[in-house]
Amino acid sequence: MVVAHQLTPPSSRQEKLRDIELPIIDLMAERSEVSKLIVKASENFGFFKVINHGVPQQVIKAMEDESYGFFSKPASQKQRAGPTNPYGYGCKNIGINGDYGEVEYLLLHTNPLSIFQRSNTISNDPTLFRWAVNGYMEAVRELACEILELMAEGLRVSDTSVFSNFLRDSDSDSLLRLNHYPPLQLLQLHNTRNNRIGFGEHTDPQILTILRSNDVPGLQISPHEDGSWVPVSPHPSTAFCVNVGDALQALTNGRFLSVRHRAMVNSCRTRMSMAYFGAPATNTRIACSPELLSPHKTNLYRPFTWDEYKKATYSRKLGDTRLHFFRVQSDHDDLSE
């Protein structure tokens, strides 16, 4: 069965504040139908959820246990895995540009050697930690590749591995981020009107993000032109939330949307999320396939390397998406701005 709840544009302010029911796509349904739904969701919202995704429950549980285990340690022990450079343990400061949020996180490069080197400062049982992280990363990378292949099929690109090959590259710059949003205390809830930023607004610079969270709400997306924020419901609990990153927007010549999102701390319960950011190798050239271009749809972006784009985004504040600087007809050609 293909379940695809359609998101209709909100007509009143009241409606905008309601939780969004993102399309929920059953990956076990008929393949061509699934690829059509994925393309449609990527074009309309840049976000969708997948169920029957094939990632074993015990693989998810092992990773979640390690994550809860790490965040429940005393601060002094967690700090052994920090500060972020940009990888490692970070608390309240996001990235290196002074962005601040009510979140603590662990940012890991998916390279097994990097995991090996960091695991000693993260866990009292580094072997178990590595086993859980590597198992989870392999499973979500496979899921991301499957989704990227369905996207290519839906776009009718002849080489259907054109996007997934980036993530399968042994030098892929993919990341895993574990986020822990501690609950607000009652006093804070009164003071802040239940509206504190956990992770500020941004788009993901990579190709595709696969997000897993517990059942505590917090994710909001801004899919409308008026810039309003819409909460995403955390259900069903068996789903992964998938979103298009900036690099995939460029690879599809703007057909797929990399949509702004943020995470709020507005609950009395702890929110935990685990995000896999599928990225190419640093020297990879990002350019739209000629099959997606036509005399009426010429290149929107100039080709760039992943390294070039990553440096441009990492040197900025969270909300400063850089993709428009790479447009062919940009008013802002000066990257140093």
Nearest CA among 214, 216, 286, 283 for reference residue 245:
286
What is the spatial distance between Cα 183 and Cα 164, in angstroms, rounded to a whole number? 37
What is the spatial distance between Cα 36 and Cα 17, in angstroms, rounded to a whole number? 28
Q: Quote the least distance from Cβ 195 to ligand GA4, whole Å.
A: 21
Q: Interacting stretch for ligand GA4, rule CB under 6 A, among 148-156, 200-208, 211-219, 260-268?
A: 200-208
Q: Quote the least distance from Cβ 275 to ligand GA4, whole Å.
A: 6
Beta 47-51 vs 24-26: how paired, if at all?
parallel
Nearest CA among 54, 204, 83 for reference residue 141:
54
49 binds ligand GA4 (CB under 6 A): no
CB closer to ligand GA4 out of 106 and 150: 106
For residue 224, CA distances in Å to 12, 99, 101, 228, 318 come to 12, 24, 24, 6, 19
Q: Quote the least distance from Cβ 209 to ligand GA4, whole Å.
A: 8
Cβ partners under 8 Å of residue 108, min gap 6: 87, 114, 115, 118, 133, 175, 176, 177, 178
Indicate which residue of 130, 141, 212, 271 is catalytic.
271
CB closer to ligand GA4 out of 35 and 220: 220
23 binds ligand GA4 (CB under 6 A): no
Strand partners, 91: 104
Q: Quote the least distance from Cβ 305 to ligand GA4, whole Å.
A: 15
Q: Interacting stretch for ligand GA4, rule CB under 6 A, among 43-51, 162-170, 229-237, 314-322?
A: 314-322
258 binds ligand GA4 (CB under 6 A): no
3-state per-residue secondary structure call for 17-33? CCCECCCEEECCCCHHH
277 binds ligand GA4 (CB under 6 A): yes
Q: Quote the least distance from Cβ 200 to ligand GA4, whole Å.
A: 8
Q: Which two tokens stand for residue 1?
A: 């069965």
What is the spatial distance between Cα 337 and Cα 333, in angstroms, rounded to a whole number? 9
Q: Which two tokens stand for residue 267?
A: 């609950």
Among 197, 313, 325, 326, interactor with ligand GA4 by CB under 6 A: 313
288 binds ligand GA4 (CB under 6 A): no
What is the spatial distance between Cα 79 and Cα 97, in angstroms, rounded to a whole number? 19
Provide φ and ψ at 13, rounded to 5°.
-60, -40
204 binds ligand GA4 (CB under 6 A): yes
In the region spanning residues 57 to 96, those forming contacts with ligand GA4, defined by CB under 6 A, are: 86, 94-95
109 binds ligand GA4 (CB under 6 A): no
241 binds ligand GA4 (CB under 6 A): no
Does 177 participate in catalysis according to the annotation?
no
Please check whether residue 249 is in contact with residue 204, taking contact to mean a CB–CB distance below 8 angstroms: no
99 binds ligand GA4 (CB under 6 A): yes
Q: Which two tokens stand for residue 333?
A: 């050609």
CB closer to ligand GA4 out of 37 and 148: 148
Q: Of how many residues is the chain composed? A: 337
| Residue window 156-175: x/- pattern of binding to ligand GA4, with contact defined by CB under 6 A | -------------------x
Among 49, 78, 109, 177, interactor with ligand GA4 by CB under 6 A: 177
Binding region for ligand GA4 (CB under 6 A): 86, 94-95, 97, 99, 107, 175, 177, 202, 204-205, 277, 313-314, 317-318
Q: Which residues are catalytic?
A: 271
